């Protein structure tokens, strides 16, 4: 088996390879002056199981193209099985056609990977696992969804948040709060979040949670602008929560997100390394989670 760390996930790919006791097989990669990517696999992949590790955080389109090129090249050059490890799968939030005529982007991306020759797709905290399952049933590719939430929850617990209340910023993420509660044990709930599909504006209703003087942690799959997390944290602070932590798997943290979250009162920010970020949060690696799953699926 070969582990190929893609240009977007060199460190994570190397960690996974090392946990599996393998030497990573690097990709020769550069960007042409016009922005196009050059990709060359440096090992003979014939008859091998090739595991490509490439996240697709911004710049999503470039990283997706690189992933497609690596996958398709490995298959064309005779790889027996190609496993795409895409810790953060871009375009996952458009997991159905909400308005007539919209691109069903998650389906488009999975279809592209399958057409390129991917046999398996391994993701971490898929935005909507049910949609992925549905998409899997329409394609031939096998999809594996892992969760970083137990790692994040254990991390905040070790930092003094044992017994904290777990929350998700919307009903769709309640499974995250529930999973975290198994470790933190202080109960769990969700906020009511509504998004205007045309303007993208969100409205968040903060329920009365009776958590005055307690600790709480908000778990989300993604922090992008930080708007959702900031509103959740502010709602908790307004209710007199003693300490609030923000935990997320995919720390995209676009311009201003970190400040927004700190200003909302975050006492702690914990993230995972599914994407590379400059955020000053406590970062936990998903490498062991990925390595264990790879071991299981190639066994
Ligand atoms: C949305 O459904 C996701 O789970 C996140 O809550 C959302 O993507 C976060 O985005 P932002 O940080 O821009 O509010």
- Tokens representing 279 are 């955020």
- Nearest-10 Cα torsion for 124, 128, 134, 136: -20
pLDDT at 192 over 90: no
pLDDT at 202 over 80: no
pLDDT at 201 over 90: no
For residues 209 and 51, the model is more confident at 51
Which of 221, 251, 253, 259 is the best mutation target for the ligand 1 pocket, counting ligand atoms within 8 Å of the beta carbon and taking the most?
221
pLDDT at 197 over 80: no
pLDDT for res 1:
97
- In angstroms, the CA 47 to CA 37 distance is 26
Q: Answer whether the bond into residue 59 is a cis peptide, omega within 30°.
A: yes
Average pLDDT of the residues in 257-266: 96
pLDDT for res 89:
97
pLDDT at 204 over 80: no
pLDDT for res 206:
73
Q: Distance of CA 39 to CAs 14, 72, 99, 119, Å? A: 18, 11, 37, 20
- In angstroms, the CA 65 to CA 63 distance is 5
CA of 211 relative to ligand 1 center, distance in Å: 24
pLDDT at 200 over 90: no
pLDDT by residue (tens digit) across 226-246?
999 999 999 999 999 999 999
Q: Are 270 and 156 in contact (CB under 8 A)?
A: yes
CA of 45 relative to ligand 1 center, distance in Å: 38
pLDDT for res 82:
98
pLDDT for res 196:
78
* Same fold yes or no, 2-147+286-298 and 149-273: yes
Q: Where are the domains of the chain?
A: 2-147+286-298, 149-273
Residue nearest to atom 13 of ligand 1 (CA): 225
Using the 8-state DSSP alphabet, how is residue 45 labeled?
-
- In angstroms, the CA 245 to CA 163 distance is 13
Fold for 2-147+286-298, please state it. Rossmann fold (3.40.50)
pTM here is 0.95
Please identify, by atom number, the ligand 1 atom nearest to the C-alpha of residue 252.
12
pLDDT for res 112:
97
CA of 272 relative to ligand 1 center, distance in Å: 16
Least confident of 34-48, 195-209, 256-270: 195-209
The CATH architecture that domain 149-273 belongs to is 3-Layer(aba) Sandwich (3.40)
Please identify, by atom number, the ligand 1 atom nearest to the C-alpha of residue 221.
4
Q: Distance of CA 210 to CAs 136, 165, 216, 228, Å? A: 41, 10, 11, 21
Active-site residue set? 193
Please identify, by atom number, the ligand 1 atom nearest to the C-alpha of residue 228.
14
pLDDT by residue (tens digit) across 113-159?
999 999 999 999 999 989 988 999 999 999 999 999 999 999 999 99
CA of 57 relative to ligand 1 center, distance in Å: 14
What are the percentages of helix, strand and coil residues in the chain, rounded to 5?
Answer: 35, 25, 40
User: For residue 208, what pLDDT band results from cuts at 50, 70 and 90?
Assistant: confident
Question: Which residues does a 6 A CB cutoff place in the pocket of ligand 1?
Answer: 93, 169-170, 173, 220-229
Which of 223, 248, 252 is the best mutation target for the ligand 1 pocket, counting ligand atoms within 8 Å of the beta carbon and taking the most?
223
User: For residue 52, what pLDDT band results from cuts at 50, 70 and 90?
Assistant: very high
Please identify, by atom number, the ligand 1 atom nearest to the C-alpha of residue 223.
12
| Residue where the block lists tokens 């905290």 | 125
Which of 57, 91, 169, 256 is the best mutation target for the ligand 1 pocket, counting ligand atoms within 8 Å of the beta carbon and taking the most?
169
Average pLDDT of the residues in 104-117: 96
Direct distance between the N- and C-terminal alpha carbons of the chain, in angstroms, rounded to an integer: 11
- 10 Å Cβ neighbour count for 186? 17
- Tokens representing 234 are 């502010």
Q: Distance of CA 46 to CAs 75, 78, 114, 192, Å? A: 9, 4, 19, 51
Average pLDDT of the residues in 191-198: 81
């Amino acid at each position: 088996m070969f582990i190929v760390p893609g240009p977007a996930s060199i460190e994570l790919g190397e960690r996974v390879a090392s946990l599996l006791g393998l030497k990573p097989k690097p990709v020769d990669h550069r960007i042409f002056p016009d922005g196009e990517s050059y990709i060359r696999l440096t090992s003979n992949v014939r008859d091998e199981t090739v595991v490509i590790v490439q996240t697709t955080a911004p710049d999503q389109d470039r990283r997706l193209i690189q992933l497609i090129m690596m996958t398709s090249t490995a298959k064309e050059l005779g790889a027996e099985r190609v496993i795409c490890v895409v810790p953060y799968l871009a375009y996952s939030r458009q997991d159905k056609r909400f308005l007539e005529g919209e691109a069903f982007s998650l389906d488009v991306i999975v279809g592209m990977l399958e057409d390129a020759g991917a046999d398996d797709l391994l993701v971490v905290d898929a935005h909507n696992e049910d949609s992925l399952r549905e998409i899997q049933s329409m394609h031939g590719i096998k999809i594996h969804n892992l969760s970083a939430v137990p790692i994040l929850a254990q991390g905040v617990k070790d930092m003094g948040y044992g017994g904290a209340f777990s929350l998700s910023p919307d009903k769709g993420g309640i499974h995250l709060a529930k999973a975290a509660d198994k470790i933190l044990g202080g109960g769990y709930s969700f906020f009511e979040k509504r998004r205007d599909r045309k303007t993208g504006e969100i409205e968040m209703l903060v329920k009365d949670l009776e958590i005055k003087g307690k600790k709480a942690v908000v778990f989300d799959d993604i922090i992008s602008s930080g708007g959702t997390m900031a509103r959740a944290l502010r709602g908790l602070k307004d209710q007199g929560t003693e300490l609030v932590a923000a935990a997320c798997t995919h720390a995209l943290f676009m311009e201003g997100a970190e400040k927004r979250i700190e200003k909302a009162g975050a006492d702690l920010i914990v993230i995972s390394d599914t994407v590379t970020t400059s955020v000053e949060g406590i970062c936990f690696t998903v490498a062991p989670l990925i390595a264990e799953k790879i071991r299981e699926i190639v066994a």
